[in-house]
């Protein structure tokens, strides 16, 4: 089988059978296209010609491109997934990535907002205006649930149960989960749905959060929106939607929440992904100790 066809087979697999999100499939496609281009320059066009030496050469080449170690590792993960699937389908005998180790990467702790910064950010939108009320509701819901920004923008009206206090969302791998919503966010969402959303709903949309034109609010638009409110709140840090997700998890764990419960709310498949927030919590405790203990 030629390499182009093999890559297409794998991308179809992760899209259809594994139900990966469109953004994830696109990321895999970009990384594998990079390897395909590298292979073509060395006149490698078929699976049989792909060797461990070629994969090593590729990793060395990536390291010369001023590429972050984490990005190099991601490219190797894409190749490993490709060849693992091809072997499982008996389309090749040996996995050329089997003996190739991932580049060593340090685990970067997520940046979080302090409670004071969260309060200032949530209070920044002018709730007397249609768009301000919408933005306030989005920010409150994001911090109350730890949703990803893509999940937030995809929410439909029926995904929200304000009486019971839950939101239903579909995360990575098309996995559905229910996340509780606190009363503060529920009250703002009631106000938004009663007063602001009818004004924005010019196309009878099912989406919960709408733009000025009545179309679903995009991730890019919300990125700009949250940055503008952060500046108004006097927050000097770079603010992006995922930072509220990090803050949601960290603040829960700092107050004694069960790690498994936080994992379920975040929609993490592996608890080791959630455990990174325990390290953030510990660093917070250490900082308090150093600041306040007389002999620290």
CB of 123 within 8 A of CB of 139?
no
Dihedral over Cα of 4, 26, 103, 65: its sign: positive
Same domain for 141 and 264? yes
Q: What is the mean pLDDT of residues 95-109?
A: 72
Could you report the per-residue pLDDT of 174-204, keeping only the tens digit for each? 788 999 999 999 999 999 999 999 999 998 9
Last residue of a domain, one of 33, 53, 88: 88
Q: Is residue 107 part of a domain?
A: no
Same domain for 128 and 75? no
Same domain for 158 and 51? no
Crossing angle of helices 271-292/241-254, nearest 10°?
A: 70
Which tops the pLDDT comparison, 110 or 279? 110
Quote the DSSP letter at residue 178.
Answer: E
Q: Answer whether residue 271 shows pLDDT above 90.
A: no
Last residue of a domain, one of 36, 70, 88: 88
Q: Is residue 261 part of a domain?
A: yes
Same domain for 148 and 202? yes
Same domain for 206 and 273? yes
Q: Answer whether residue 257 shows pLDDT above 70.
A: yes
Could you report the per-residue pLDDT of 6-17, keeping only the tens digit for each? 999 999 999 888
Same domain for 126 and 82? no
Residue with tokens 């768009």: 131
Same domain for 27 and 152? no
Same domain for 210 and 76? no
Same domain for 131 and 193? yes
Same domain for 66 and 119? no
pLDDT of residue 283: 62
Same domain for 125 and 170? yes
Distances, alpha carbon 6 to alpha carbons 16, 31, 52, 97, 252, in Å: 15, 14, 17, 15, 44
State the catalytic residues.
148, 172, 242, 245, 268, 277
**Looking at residue 65, which CATH number applies to its domain?**
1.10.150
Same domain for 170 and 242? yes
Least confident of 2-16, 107-121, 216-230: 107-121
Last residue of a domain, one of 88, 103, 130: 88
β strands within the chain, DSSP E: 160-161, 166-170, 176-180
Q: Answer whether residue 289 shows pLDDT above 70.
A: no
Burial of 152 (0-12, 13-18, 19+ CB in 10 A): buried
Q: Is residue 100 part of a domain?
A: no
pLDDT of residue 279: 67
Instruction: Say whether 108 sits in a helix, a strand or coil.
Output: coil
Q: Answer whether residue 280 shows pLDDT above 70.
A: no
User: For the CA atoms of 46, 48, 49, 55, what is the dihedral angle to 10 degrees?
Assistant: 100
pLDDT of residue 124: 96
Q: Answer whether residue 31 shows pLDDT above 60.
A: yes
Q: Is residue 99 part of a domain?
A: no
Domain range for 17 is 3-88
- Residues of the chain with pLDDT > 90, as a percent, come to 52
62-73 burial by CB neighbour count: b if 16+ within 10 A, else e?
beeeeeeeeebb
Q: Answer whether residue 240 shows pLDDT above 90.
A: no
Sheet of 160-161, strand order: 160-161, 166-170, 176-180
Q: Report the chain's mean pLDDT, rounded to a whole number.
A: 88
Instruction: Say whether 167 sits in a helix, a strand or coil.
Output: strand
Q: Is residue 153 part of a domain?
A: yes
**Looking at residue 252, which CATH number applies to its domain?**
1.10.443.10
Q: What is the mean pLDDT of residues 232-240?
A: 90
Q: Answer whether residue 172 shows pLDDT above 70.
A: yes
First-to-last C-alpha distance (Å) of the chain? 64
Which tops the pLDDT comparison, 214 or 285? 214
Structurally, the chain folds into a number of domains equal to 2
Could you report the per-residue pLDDT of 48-93, keeping only the tens digit for each? 899 888 888 888 888 888 788 888 888 888 999 999 999 898 888 8
Which tops the pLDDT comparison, 63 or 227? 227
Q: Is residue 57 part of a domain?
A: yes
Residues 6+ apart with CB under 8 A from 85: 9, 10, 13
pLDDT of residue 111: 83
CB of 200 within 8 A of CB of 134?
yes
Q: Is residue 82 part of a domain?
A: yes
Q: Is residue 96 part of a domain?
A: no
Residue 295's φ and ψ, nearest 5 degrees, are -115, 25
pLDDT of residue 23: 85
């Amino acid at each position: 089988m030629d390499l182009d066809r093999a890559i297409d087979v794998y991308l179809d697999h992760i899209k259809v059978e594994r139900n990966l999100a469109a953004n994830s499939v696109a990321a895999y496609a970009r990384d594998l296209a990079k390897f395909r281009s590298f292979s073509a320059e060395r006149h490698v066009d078929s699976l049989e010609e792909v060797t461990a030496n070629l994969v090593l050469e590729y990793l060395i080449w990536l390291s010369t491109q001023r590429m972050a170690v984490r990005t190099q590792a991601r490219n190797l993960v894409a190749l490993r997934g490709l060849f693992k699937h091809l072997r499982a389908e008996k389309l090749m005998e040996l996995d050329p990535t089997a003996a190739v180790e991932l580049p060593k990467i340090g685990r970067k702790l997520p940046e979080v907002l302090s409670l004071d910064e969260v309060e200032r950010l949530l209070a920044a939108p002018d709730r007397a205006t249609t768009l301000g009320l919408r933005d306030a509701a989005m920010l409150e819901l994001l911090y109350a649930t730890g949703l990803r920004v893509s999940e937030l923008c995809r929410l439909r009206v029926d995904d929200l149960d304000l009486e019971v206090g839950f939101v239903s969302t579909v995360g990575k791998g098309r996995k559905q989960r229910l996340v509780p919503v606190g009363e503060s966010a529920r009250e703002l969402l009631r106000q938004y749905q009663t007063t602001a959303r009818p004004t924005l709903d010019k196309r009878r949309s099912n989406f919960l959060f709408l733009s000025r034109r009545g179309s679903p609010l995009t991730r890019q638009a919300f990125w700009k929106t949250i940055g503008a409110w952060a500046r108004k709140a006097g927050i000097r840090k770079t603010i992006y939607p995922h930072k509220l997700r990090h803050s949601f998890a960290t603040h829960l764990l700092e107050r004694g929440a069960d790690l498994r419960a936080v994992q379920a709310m975040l929609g993490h498949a592996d608890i080791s992904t959630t455990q990174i927030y325990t390290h953030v919590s510990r660093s917070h405790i250490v900082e308090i100790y150093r600041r306040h203990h007389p002999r620290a």
